Amino acid sequence: MPVGPDAPRWVTCHSRRTVLVIVHTVTSGQRLLDVVRLLAADLRVQVVFTIAPDVFSNGVAELLRRIGGVILPWRLAVREPFDLAVCAAYGGIENVHAPLVVIPHGAGYNKLVSRRLGGGAVATLGVYGLSAQELVRDGTVIPSAIVLAHDTERRRLARTCPEAVAVAEVVGDASHDRLIASSHERRAYRRALGVADEHELVVVTSTWGPNSLFGRHAGLLRCMLTELPRDRYRIAALLHPNIWFGHGIWQIRSWLADCLRDELALVPPEADWRGVLIAADHVVGDHGSVAVYGTVCGASVSLVGNVVGDVDPQSAGGLLASTAPRLQLDQPLSAQLRWAAARHHPGQHAEIVQRLTSAPGRFDRNMRRLMYRLMRLPQPLILPRADPVPPPYLISSPDHAACEEGR
């Protein structure tokens, strides 16, 4: 381990700063990778990872092993001092000994905190990540810096947790910037998904939980595969990692086995979802962030069900929820997709995209400047830039997987 009192005896490169990346879930880990890549080439900085306690921590260890990160056990991570810590969720962060940066793990701060089942007086729903419930312990604001994507989020924070405004920083949105940087790779992403030029790609995206699209309308994928003409459409599914790891990868593959046999393009939880949105002609979603990011990519965006009550109306997600057309599941799907395509035009989602970030194209520069300031270290001379995301890939059908295992 490059951390601890004996570390100088064993390490080859003696770094000047050590950064702890606190990963609660696969979703937050994927978002944090956009941050730590800004430190990757600096020999003065050693990055280590830890898996924080979370009900959805399943899959995090595999994610970190896949990227080859040094994993520090949580019990040691809360004992050692660090020069900087970065996280995208809140469990246990009050126990970390380091200047702490908190970033959003979705399209800004858009989801309302869900209420637990049971009795008790009903409190006003807060916005996850902008309320004192996550940001304050024992009267003290935990983070040293709270990363915001948009200026309006500072005003929302001032209403929900005014004591945290002093440490808020408007930095921008990494996924917005990387989607823009990836837009010229659309044909490559479509090829990776097996989508021919003459086909329209319909991406069905679902967040997690009982109010999600997959929670309420899991049969929509089967309906699309049955109803939509194969000579015109291809169907892809983007399910939130919490669905995969809450139920188990085997279970999700088993539930969707017949859809996979009918050529559903099922994207695994570890693949980069952003290339799938770039490839899409239509996005059908719910109150999750992926549908919001679909507005950046030029696709038509439709929602399923009543999603207004799940998001803050002042967020980009709230604006999408109040303006996007609703897909009616008891009406012909092909006609609705044709209608959505006919009314779609460039710039249709401009107001939603503008609500996503007030620092377009500047996340990397702003985020790196913030981290190096907290580390008290001069920045590298080379300016960071948003790179295109890697091509997506798919889960194979059960029949193909069985053949592979039999070889």
Q: In whole angstroms, what is the distance from residue 104 CA to residue 148 CA?
A: 7
The pLDDT of residue 313 is: 87
Q: What is the per-residue pLDDT across 212-266, written as a single tens digit (0 to 9) for each?
A: 999 999 999 999 999 999 999 999 999 999 999 999 999 999 999 999 999 999 9
Residues 134 and 216 in one domain: no
pLDDT over 50 (residue 403) = no
Q: Report the Cα 285 to chain-centroid distance in Å.
A: 14
| Any domain includes 256 | yes
At 404, is the pLDDT very low, low, confident or very high (cuts 50, 70, 90)? Answer: very low
- Is the separation of the CB atoms in 394 and 270 below 8 Å? no
49 located within any domain: yes
Identify the pLDDT of residue 195: 97
Report the number of distinct structural domains present in the chain: 2
Dist CA 213 CA 61 (whole Å): 27
Do residue 188 and residue 302 come from a single domain?
yes
Q: What is the pLDDT of residues 16-67, one digit of tens each?
A: 899 999 999 999 999 999 999 999 889 999 999 999 999 999 999 999 999 9
258-309 per-position pLDDT tens digit: 999 999 999 999 999 999 999 999 999 999 999 999 999 989 999 998 876 6
Q: CB–CB of 201/290 below 8 Å?
A: no
Q: Decide if 116 is inside a domain.
A: yes
State how far Cα 125 lies from the chain centre: 22
Residue 213 lies in a domain: yes
Is the same domain home to 316 and 250?
yes
| 209 falls within a domain | yes
Instruction: Please check whether residues 362 and 351 belong to one and the same domain.
Output: no
Q: Which residue has the higher pLDDT, 167 or 129?
A: 167
In a domain, 194, yes or no: yes
Task: Mark whether 14 and 115 lie in a shared domain.
Answer: yes
Are residues 146 and 115 part of one domain?
yes
* Pair (140, 195) in one structural domain: no
Q: Are residues 130 and 265 in the same domain?
A: no
Q: Is residue 382 situated within a structural domain?
A: no
In a domain, 387, yes or no: no
What confidence tens digit (pLDDT) does each residue in 5-14 have? 666 666 666 7
**Burial (0-12, 13-18, 19+ Cβ within 10 Å), 319:** buried
Chain centroid to CA 361: how far? 18
Q: How far is CA 50 from CA 46, 58, 402, in A?
A: 13, 13, 35
Q: Residue 299 is inside which H or E element, if any?
A: none
Residue 5 structure tokens: 């009192």
pTM: 0.92
Q: DSSP string spanning 37-97?
A: TTTTT-TTEEEEEEE---TT-TTHHHHHHHHT--B--HHHHTTSB-SEEEESS-TTGGG-B
What confidence tens digit (pLDDT) does each residue in 187-210 have? 999 999 999 999 999 999 999 999
Co-location of 128 and 192 in the same domain = no
Instruction: For residue 98, give its domain range.
Output: 7-175+358-375
On whether both 189 and 319 belong to a single domain, the answer is yes
pLDDT per residue as tens digits for the range 319-341: 999 999 999 999 999 999 999 88
179 SS3 class: helix
CATH number of the domain that 72 lies in? 3.40.50.2000
What would you measure as the largest C-alpha separation in the chain, in angstroms?
68
- In a shared domain, residues 289 and 370: no
